[in-house]
Chain A
Amino acid sequence: MPTFDLALLTRGHYHDLLLAGLTLSLELLVITLVLALPFSLLIALARLSPWPVLRWAGFGLVEGVRNVPLLAQMLFWYFGAPELLPDASREWLYGHNFEAIAAVVALLFYTSAFLSEDIRSGIRAVPQVQTEAARALGLGYLATLRLVVLPQALRITVPPLISQTLNLWKNTSIATVIGTAELMYQAGQVESATFRSIEAFSFATASYLIVSLLITGLSALYQHHFPARSA
């Protein structure tokens, strides 16, 4: 049994590779989350809108995305989707880190589908009389949502939102299949270059765990400071 070579992880080329991977993983997390929040809100509103066309489109999108593995979606966006684009923009994409872009697109759809369901149940948890009262006071449909319903609903949505963030963090690892140079990919690279699999995978596991624990801690902190209010 070879000894655990800590020096591999603390300095040198392989240390840099792993750290670059961790950075890209965190970037995937943050960028996807920032884009997914407004997107999932739109999907949730579409699913609750008074217009059947929007409701059905929202339903189709959510069910379609939730019932296909993220890995298959990554393969689709990376290998399949560029065929739909004109040649010029395809060339541009291939020159601009398309692996990361495809990963963000796949993660965005996947996360938003789950997140929109949480937001939707948050909105539905706001008592109907709130809407009725707002409408009776003369607010329009959108103003009612913006000023009365959403501020209450989003507060209820925060704990499930944090747990979806945790899922998103773990899901970023799947981007490795299309060659996005995130943490899992770099750990694999370091493993095959040095055969130091225990070191490389320990680094990756510890990183995933620490960020996961931070996100879980955030959730506990939130629930401690803002316990659920009964309306």
Chain B
Amino acid sequence: MSFIEMVQTYWLYFLVGRYPEGPLGGLALTLLLAVCGLLLALPLGLLLGLGRVSPWPWLRRPVTALVFVVRGTPLLMVVFWAYFFLPGVTGVKTDQFSTMLIALVVFDGAYLAEIVRAGIQGLPKGQYECARALGLSHLGAMRLVVLPQALRHMLPSLVNQLVSSIKETSLGYIIGLTEVSFVTTQINTLVFTLPLQLYAILALTYFILCFGLSRFAFWLERRLARRQSAAPLHPHVAT
């Protein structure tokens, strides 16, 4: 089978898997998983981030421990735990998509928590103290004064987080999720003679997607910095 023939035969399979006859797969599934994962990880990251800076030790300590444990283990480990133990704990057989989604949400949630924490702690302390002095409670001060300022700086980091998210979905390969890396390996098994070209296409696909997005984040960051240049500057959020 020549290269052209391979592309003609399998391009649709590469993009959407066996959809619409079968389940969605390929590149479309990769994107869907990355976007869903990030959207669900955001609220979790926000909650965990608030927990990390909370004044109550009974909340701060377990959240800190959780964040440290998740950040100290590979994502693959989280995927395996989700894959082998979710069915045991919930009693429901979870499919690969939900398993991977849950693993991604937990993993990215812990990383986002640190971005949120850095954003909150990067603000001048006076902001929080003034809000408290004006009579706002801790949560009121967070919600009305600190978070609106901290989150604005997070926008470029979020686009970068989407790039990481897309890269992380590739681990679905290991539990048999039919995302684009898995589909490519299937095509490789069927074609057999063109592994170099096939995996180069896979790498190029990821590259175009992720490089485009990270350039977009770069552009966004500069635009936000220009807008802010009139206003007093805040320290940048570490990614």
Partner-B contacts on A (CB < 8 A): 63-64, 66-73, 75-76, 79-81, 83-84, 170-174, 176-177, 184, 187-188, 191, 197-198, 201, 204-205, 208-209, 212-213, 216
Query: A208, B211: Cβ atoms under 8 Å?
Result: no
Instruction: Say how far B170's CB is from chain A's closest CB, in angstroms.
Output: 4
Task: Summarize A's interface: helix, strand, loop or mixed.
Answer: helix
Interface: B207 (CB within 8 A): yes
Task: Choose from A75, A197, A209, A213 the contact partner of B181 (Cβ within 8 Å).
Answer: A75
Query: Roughly how many angstroms separate A22 CA and B178 CA in the complex, as a whole number?
Result: 29
Determine the chain B residues whose CB is within 8 A of the CB of A201 once the complex forms: 77, 80-81, 84
Chain B, interface size category, equals 35 or more
Task: Choose from B71, B195, B200, B211 the contact partner of A67 (Cβ within 8 Å).
Answer: B211
Task: Summarize B's interface: helix, strand, loop or mixed.
Answer: helix
Determine the chain A residues whose CB is within 8 A of the CB of B184 once the complex forms: 75
Query: B74, A171: Cβ atoms under 8 Å?
Result: yes
Interface: B149 (CB within 8 A): no
Instruction: Say how far A90's CB is from chain B's closest CB, in angstroms.
Output: 12
Q: Nearest 5 pairs between A and B by C-beta? A: A212-B72, A67-B210, A80-B199, A69-B170, A173-B74
Instruction: Say how far A214's CB is from chain B's closest CB, in angstroms.
Output: 10
Mask, B45-87, CB within 8 Å of A = 1, is: 0000000000000000000000001011111110011001100
Query: Knowing A71-B170, A75-B199 touch, does A208 contact B206 (C-beta < 8 A)?
Result: no
Query: Roughly how many angstroms separate A208 CA and B68 CA in the complex, as a whole number?
Result: 12
Query: Roughly how many angstroms separate A143 CA and B76 CA in the complex, as a whole number?
Result: 44
Task: Choose from A80, A174, A212, A216 the contact partner of B195 (Cβ within 8 Å).
Answer: A80
Mask, B79-97, CB within 8 Å of A = 1, is: 0110011000000000000
Q: List 28 A–B pairs whose Cβ atoms lie within 8 Å, in order of A's numbering.
A: A67-B210, A68-B207, A68-B210, A69-B166, A69-B170, A69-B181, A71-B173, A72-B181, A72-B202, A73-B203, A75-B184, A75-B202, A76-B199, A76-B202, A79-B188, A79-B199, A80-B195, A80-B200, A171-B74, A176-B76, A176-B174, A191-B84, A197-B84, A197-B85, A201-B80, A205-B81, A208-B77, A212-B71
